[in-house]
A and B are shown apart, each in its own frame.
Chain A
Amino acid sequence: MAAGIGGRTVSSAFAPIRLWLLLPSWVVIGFFLLIPVLLILVYSFLTKEFRGGVIWDFTLAAYDQFLFDRGLFGDDPPTIQWTYITIFVRSILQAAVATVLCLLIGFPTAWYIATRAARMRSIWLFLVTVPYWVNLLIRTVSMKFLIRENGPLNEFLLALGIIDSPLEIINTDIAVQLGLFYSYLPFMVLPIYAAVERYNFALSEAGADLYAGRWTIMREIVLPVVKPGIIAGCILVFVPSLGAFLAPDLLGGAKNFMIGSLIEEQFKGQAGNWPFGAASSMILLSMVLVVLFFYARGQAREQV
């Protein structure tokens, strides 16, 4: 960050062996990321075998299935396939709403924690991570118990007389949304906290001395400085929400596919269409890469 105190950040002490230091990372990335992704890419161009598996004949059938609707029987003239676009749009909207909700709750939280005394900060951070010691599956099932029609939430609201009939949240998109934003909230809090913690509050004071209002200080000074933290948080929430399948399955009643559940069905379900699952994964991956590419380019420009 430009506001740093200075000092060398690049050390030449390990220069001769720098490549070797990176080797383990490259092996891990290559073995667990690049090779699997390449396999998925290859599989997306193969032919589906009837009961799961693939035949080694190269074809564009999986991508064709994604893009073109040839009717129930596959012989109508091709039109645009809305089925999967709908699923992708639903997933993107859900992930976007989850990101905004996380930001609205996460930013003030992170701000609050970062402005406490140093000793209290670690306690607050510790408290933020406590719920995440419990497995995601168990947290999602617990959420289901909480919001079900005759669950504690409804019973509480009914007892207070706030509502007359139970809220029907379970098995709706709202339930899915609750699960998503709750699951990924700390991914928003932590990077923003890290950015705010490094913010030099003397800058705010200087702004105030120069007659800037609170809103101006926030917009002109604070936000530009903590922006990388906000963007990192948004990416960390948006990307996993996009591929979530536990929340739509358990909280949404598996009624409407999200991208994650669509892909899962291709590999685990009876349809067993591996190439189509692989093609859907590649399309999802490409979308994420495009978003990250524009982000990286924007970052690079700012540095210049």
Chain B
Amino acid sequence: MKHLKLGAAAIALMAMAGAASAEKLSVYHWFEYIPQELLDKFTAETGIEVVMDTYDSNETLLANLKAGKLGSYDVAVPGDYMVSIMKNEGMLDTIAEGELKNKGNIEDQWLNVAFDDGRMHSIPYQWGSTSFMVNRDVYGGDIRTTDIIFNPPEELKGKINVLDTAGETLVFASIHMGIPQCSTDRDQLKALDELVQGAKADWASFNSDGAKDVLVSGDAAAGMIWNGFGQKARLEGANVEYSYPKQGYIVWMDNVVLLKDAPNRDAAIKFMDFLLEPENAAAVTNFARYTAGVKGVGALLDEELQTSPEQNPPADAPAGTFVEVCDEATQKVYDQIWTRLKQ
């Protein structure tokens, strides 16, 4: 059945390639993450027709590429840690030096990143942070500390929502404790296990897709959340404030990668250059409400985004931490901690 489908797809592709000499670009992207007008603009400027499929998680992207889709797409938009994983799986093509005209537009801080040193395979798309918000009607004290989640003040006990993803919640706990991610130190891991087990008594729920709703409805008075999502909670009328804790917070970045065996490699490079134009990067940010990693975008953003407390950390905020990719044996311990937490 699968072979039949692949065969049919191959024939269809060949037929299309033969019939239309017009250039094409095949994009595999997150849902609702790029405005259609921007794709139209790309087609108008270059004459390249864009075909897009969408996915809803990094894991789905990986699974589908692994299951035989590699070679049918030109570019995809994995998150930071997924870039590492895909690179290690040999799914990414290398962008030669000088191939990208607009590479100089990448902000310096995003040029040499741990998941893709020197940007050999990827360019920044959007980045944001994962931290938490607090309802200011309930708690008026200092919120720039991870104690809010892991050692909460009396007012917030039993009214805290945490993200239902082992990755982000356990990394956030590690930041709170000041221990490295992917630790193999047994005392640190035991302490982490004890910390989350103890903190759970003060947590009301584990919820990711509802992270905004529980804050807006008042079910949670404090909750872990992504900054863009959190901004929406505030704009929907909740008196909530986003925190950039002194101990640190998580940052993540989605990146446009050049896939291995891309059928339209030239078009893919043109698309990446297109997305590195400040004007186009700003258009994505105005749509997605996170932050572009491209120089010269600032002035082109909606006023709200230029000043919003979610997207603009205070001057004394520490740098954020990326989620790291652990090896299998280490990951197993973290998985174990998570299962014990939710037993």
Q: How far is the CA of A170 from the CA of B218 in the complex (A)?
A: 12
Q: Are B332 and A74 in contact (CB under 8 A)?
A: yes
B59, B207, B336: the one contacting A270 at CB < 8 Å is B59
Task: Assess whether A270 is in contact with B63, with CB atoms less than 8 Å apart.
Answer: no
B165 part of interface (Cβ distance < 8 Å): yes
Neighbouring B residues of A269 by C-beta, 8 Å: 165-166
Residue from A170, A257, A269 with most neighbouring chain B CB atoms (10 Å): A269
12 A-B pairs with C-beta separation under 8 A: A53-B63, A72-B189, A72-B333, A150-B218, A171-B204, A253-B161, A253-B206, A254-B164, A255-B200, A256-B342, A256-B343, A273-B335
Measured between C-beta atoms, what is the minimum distance from A50 to chain B in Å? 5
Q: Mark A207-245, 1 if CB is under 8 A from B, else 0.
A: 000000000000000000000000000000000000000
Residues of B within 8 A of A257 (CB): 342-343
A83 — which chain B residues lie within 8 A by C-beta? 339-340, 343
Q: Do B219 and A148 have beta carbons less than 8 Å apart?
A: yes
Select one of A51, A148, A255, A273 contacting B62, CB under 8 A: A51
- From known contacts A255-B200, A255-B203, infer whether A72 and B190 are also in contact, taking CB-CB under 8 Å: yes
A206 in contact (CB, < 8 A): no
Is B258 part of the contact surface with A, judged by Cβ < 8 Å?
A: no
What string of 1s and 0s marks CB contacts (under 8 Å) between A36-58 and chain B?
A: 00000000000000111100000
The 4 closest A-B pairs by CB, nearest first: A253-B205, A254-B206, A83-B343, A271-B335
- Please, which residues of chain B bring their CB within 8 A of the CB of A171? 204-205
B69 → A minimal CB distance (Å): 15
- Could you list which residues of chain B lie within 8 angstroms of chain A, going by C-beta atoms? 59, 62-63, 66, 85, 158, 161, 164-167, 186, 189-190, 193, 200, 203-207, 217-219, 328, 331-333, 335-340, 342-343
Q: Which residue of A lies closest to B343 (CB)?
A: A83
* Chain A residues numbered 81-99 whose CB sits less than 8 Å from any CB in chain B: 83-84, 86-87
Q: Are A51 and B85 in contact (CB under 8 A)?
A: yes
Instruction: Point out the residues of chain A lying under 8 angstroms from B59, CB to CB.
Output: 51-52, 270, 272
Report the separation of the CA atoms of residues A89 and B69 in the bound assembly, to the nearest whole angstrom. 43
Closest to A270 in B: B166
B218 touches A149 (CB 8 A): yes
Interface residue? A32 (CB, 8 A): no
Contact A254-B340, Cβ < 8 Å, known A51-B59, A148-B217, A270-B165: no
Give the CA-CA distance A32 to B258 in the complex, in Å.
40
B166 & A254 in contact (Cβ 8 Å cutoff) = no
Contact: B186 with A73, CB < 8 Å?
yes
Interfacial chain A residues near B161, Cβ < 8 Å? 253
Closest beta carbon of chain A to B66's beta carbon, Å: 8
Once A72-B193, A149-B219 are accepted as A-B contacts, the answer to whether A271 and B338 lie under 8 Å apart by CB is yes
Contact B219 A50 (CB under 8 A): no
- Closest B-chain residue to A149, C-beta based? B219
Check A50–B343 contact: CB distance below 8 A. no
A168: chain B residues within 8 A (beta carbon) = 158
Which residue from B207, B328, B333, B336 sits with its C-beta under 8 Å from A254? B207
A150–B331 Cα distance when bound, in Å, is 40
Distance of A51 Cα from B342 Cα, bound (Å): 21
Given contacts A270-B167, A271-B335, contact A254 B342 (CB under 8 A): yes
CB atoms of B343 and A271 under 8 A apart = no
A73 / chain B contacts, CB cutoff of 8 Å: 186, 189, 333
A87 CB contacts on chain B under 8 angstroms: 343
Residues of B near A253 (CB, < 8 A) are: 161, 204-207
- In the bound assembly, the distance between CA atoms of A148 and B332 in angstroms comes to 36
A272 to chain B, nearest CB (A): 7
Give every chain A residue within 8 A of B166 (Cβ-Cβ).
269-271
Chain B residues near A270 (CB-CB < 8 A)? 59, 165-167, 335
Q: How far is the CB of B204 from chain A (nearest CB, A)?
A: 5
Nearest CB in chain B to that of A87: its residue: B343
CA distance A148 to B161 in the complex (A): 14
Chain A contacts with B in 237-293, Cβ cutoff 8 A: 253-257, 265, 269-273
Nearest-CB distance from A46 to chain B (Å)? Answer: 16
CB distance from A71 to the nearest CB of B (A): 9
Q: Chain A contacts of B158 at CB under 8 A?
A: 168
Find the A residue at minimum CB distance from B66. Answer: A53
Measured CA separation A270–B63 after assembly (Å) = 12
Query: How far, in whole Å, are A150 and B137 apart by their CA atoms in the complex?
Result: 14
Cα–Cα distance between A148 and B205 once the two chains are bound (Å): 12
Across-interface contacts of A254 in B (CB, < 8 A): 164, 205-207, 342
- Whether A72 lies near B219 (C-beta < 8 A) is no
Check B339 against A271 for contact (C-beta < 8 Å): yes
How far, in Å, is B179 (CB) from chain A's closest CB?
15
Closest CB-CB distance, A92 to chain B, in whole Å?
15
Complex formed: what's the CA distance from A87 to B190 in Å? 22
Which of chain A's residues have a CB closer than 8 A to the CB of B331? 50
CB of B50, distance to nearest CB on chain A (Å): 29
Contact B186 A170 (CB under 8 A): no
10 extra A-B contacts, CB within 8 A, seeds A74-B336, A271-B339:
A51-B59, A52-B59, A72-B336, A73-B333, A74-B332, A74-B333, A148-B219, A168-B158, A253-B205, A253-B207
- Complex-state Cα separation, A272 to B339, whole angstroms: 12
Considering the chains assembled together, what is the distance between the CA atoms of A153 and B166 in angstroms? 33
Asked if B219 and A170 sit within 8 Å, CB to CB, the answer is yes
Chain A residue numbers with a CB within 8 Å of B165 are: 269-270
**CA separation between A255 and B203, bound complex, in Å?**
9
